[in-house]
A and B are shown apart, each in its own frame.
Chain A
Amino acid sequence: MINEIKSIVQNYLNNAKLTEFLTGSVVLDGIKISEKLTIPNELIVGNLKSTAIIGDNVRLLRNHGGQTYYILEVIN
């Protein structure tokens, strides 16, 4: 029973997509955070969006729900 509840809560949290820090590098059509996953430009917000250039490493804050990503800073 306890294990089932744990796995339900875990699944829920995974699905709910809580706020999280991520790092990625700027590429042509978005920010690449892993081999397979590039966040499209449409979902990226923040003042730094216009100044970040291709190749920059950036720190992102993923909003709850996982459908907007805020550029916090450029890291080098």
Chain B
Amino acid sequence: MTKIEFLVSVNNKTWEISELVKSIEFSDKLNDGCSKLEFSYVDDNLKLENGSGVMFRYDSKNIFSGIVFKHGHNKKGEITVTAYDQLRYAKAKDNVVVQKDTATTLTKRMCNYLGIPSGTLTDTAYVLATTVQEDKTWLDIIYSAISDTLLYREKWFCLRDEFGKVTLRDINDLKLDLVLGDKSLCYDFDYEKSIDEEFYNRIKIYVKGKDDATVGTTIVKDSEASIKNYGLLQYFEIMENKNASQAKSKAAVLLGLYNQETETLSLDCLGDTRVRAGTSFYGTIEDIKMENKRLKVVSVTHKYIPIHTMSLEVSL
């Protein structure tokens, strides 16, 4: 238990409650809302309030710094608390004009406007198309900027809170030198391979288009080998305000992304504090003939009591 440092601040007073905490669970998802710390403790004298600050360190590593949003009590005197990180505030809706912006400048604008502290904001270097985002949450606006960047620059970024500061990181910078698998730290796994979801081997784009000659053209891009194997699975999209060559390059990128069997793998392992959503590690599992394959964490839940374990979902 000595590895746990748990601080809460209530009404400008800070308390160290690592001895009182009964359970700690930290969950984090890749570009899907804020991270969450749920914990429970026993003590009737310390009354946490919504808005109180929570700071959690494990083994001298910064894990979580956030704000209490929910707390509940029961007859046994056990208090359960849910705290979120700074990105919780990014659920605010607004009207935003995206003009000469990148995902990075949008994140900066959000942090300034909402008064959220920011840390490292990696330059995504892709200037987004001009759009008007009406009545949308800041999170959705930035996530769609991140997907556009992925689509047109083939680089993926991750928006997250790191110990109280919002950061934007290139997924490639989050590679860990960590091996997880049936011979290393992992005690259970669940694997599935599917073409049921998000699998397409023909991409068809109808260009509704600007007022030029390409209006009404249809772009088709497919993989014959894949159609022979799996049957024809078609993706269809109507693209507005774009021309045929833009549609062609989009079709090629989409075919590359979608013409792959989706594999899902979840792992239960002994904990490693470095593992957060967006990081990647080497997976080695004999049963499914996987050897030192880079796996990216899509979501992770760490439990710290009685010992540190984690359950991860990864994408392959």
A interface residues with partner B (beta carbon < 8 Å): 14-15, 17, 34, 36-40, 42-43, 63, 65-68
Measured CB to CB, the closest approach of chain A to B135, in angstroms, equals: 6
Measured CB to CB, the closest approach of chain A to B208, in angstroms, equals: 10
* A interface footprint on B115-156 (CB within 8 Å = 1, 0 otherwise): 000000000000000111011100000000000000000000
Which 9 A-B pairs have CB atoms at the shortest separation, nearest pair first?
A42-B130, A37-B95, A40-B99, A40-B130, A67-B131, A14-B135, A36-B95, A39-B132, A66-B134
Q: Decide: B241 and A40 in contact? CB cutoff 8 A.
A: no
Given contacts A36-B95, A37-B95, contact A43 B134 (CB under 8 A): no
Q: Decide: B132 and A43 in contact? CB cutoff 8 A.
A: yes
B interface residues with partner A (beta carbon < 8 Å): 95, 97, 99, 130-132, 134-136, 240-241
Q: Decide: A67 and B135 in contact? CB cutoff 8 A.
A: no
Q: Is the interface of A mostly helix, strand, loop or mixed?
A: loop
User: Which chain A residues border B97 with CB–CB below 8 Å?
Assistant: 37-40
User: Which chain B residues border A42 with CB–CB below 8 Å?
Assistant: 99, 130
Q: Decide: A66 and B132 in contact? CB cutoff 8 A.
A: yes
User: Which chain A residues border B99 with CB–CB below 8 Å?
Assistant: 40, 42
User: Which chain A residues border B131 with CB–CB below 8 Å?
Assistant: 43, 67
Measured CB to CB, the closest approach of chain B to A49, in angstroms, equals: 13
The total of Cβ contacts below 8 Å across the A-B interface reads 32
Q: Decide: B95 and A43 in contact? CB cutoff 8 A.
A: no
Q: A41: nearest residue on chain B (CB-CB)?
A: B130
Measured CB to CB, the closest approach of chain B to A5, in angstroms, equals: 20
**Could you tell me the distance between the alpha carbons of A51 and B303 in the complex, rounded to whole angstroms?**
65
Measured CB to CB, the closest approach of chain A to B19, in angstroms, equals: 42
Q: Decide: B130 and A17 in contact? CB cutoff 8 A.
A: no
**Could you tell me the distance between the alpha carbons of A43 and B240 in the complex, rounded to whole angstroms?**
12
Q: B98: nearest residue on chain A (CB-CB)?
A: A40
Most chain A CB inside 10 Å of its own CB: which residue of B97, B132, B241: B132
**Could you tell me the distance between the alpha carbons of A67 and B99 in the complex, rounded to whole angstroms?**
12
Measured CB to CB, the closest approach of chain A to B56, in angstroms, equals: 34
User: Which chain B residues border A17 with CB–CB below 8 Å?
Assistant: 134
Q: Decide: A37 and B132 in contact? CB cutoff 8 A.
A: yes
Q: Decide: A15 and B132 in contact? CB cutoff 8 A.
A: no
Measured CB to CB, the closest approach of chain B to A45, in angstroms, equals: 9
**Could you tell me the distance between the alpha carbons of A25 and B159 in the complex, rounded to whole angstroms?**
36
Measured CB to CB, the closest approach of chain A to B225, in angstroms, equals: 35
**Could you tell me the distance between the alpha carbons of A63 and B99 in the complex, rounded to whole angstroms?**
19
Measured CB to CB, the closest approach of chain B to A34, in angstroms, equals: 8
Query: With contacts A14-B135, A43-B131, A63-B240 known, what are 19 further pairs, Cβ within 8 A?
Result: A15-B135, A34-B95, A37-B97, A37-B132, A37-B134, A38-B97, A40-B97, A40-B99, A40-B132, A42-B99, A42-B130, A43-B130, A43-B132, A66-B132, A66-B134, A67-B132, A67-B240, A68-B240, A68-B241
Measured CB to CB, the closest approach of chain B to A63, in angstroms, equals: 8
Most chain B CB inside 10 Å of its own CB: which residue of A34, A37, A68: A37
User: Which chain A residues border B135 with CB–CB below 8 Å?
Assistant: 14-15
User: Which chain B residues border A14 with CB–CB below 8 Å?
Assistant: 135
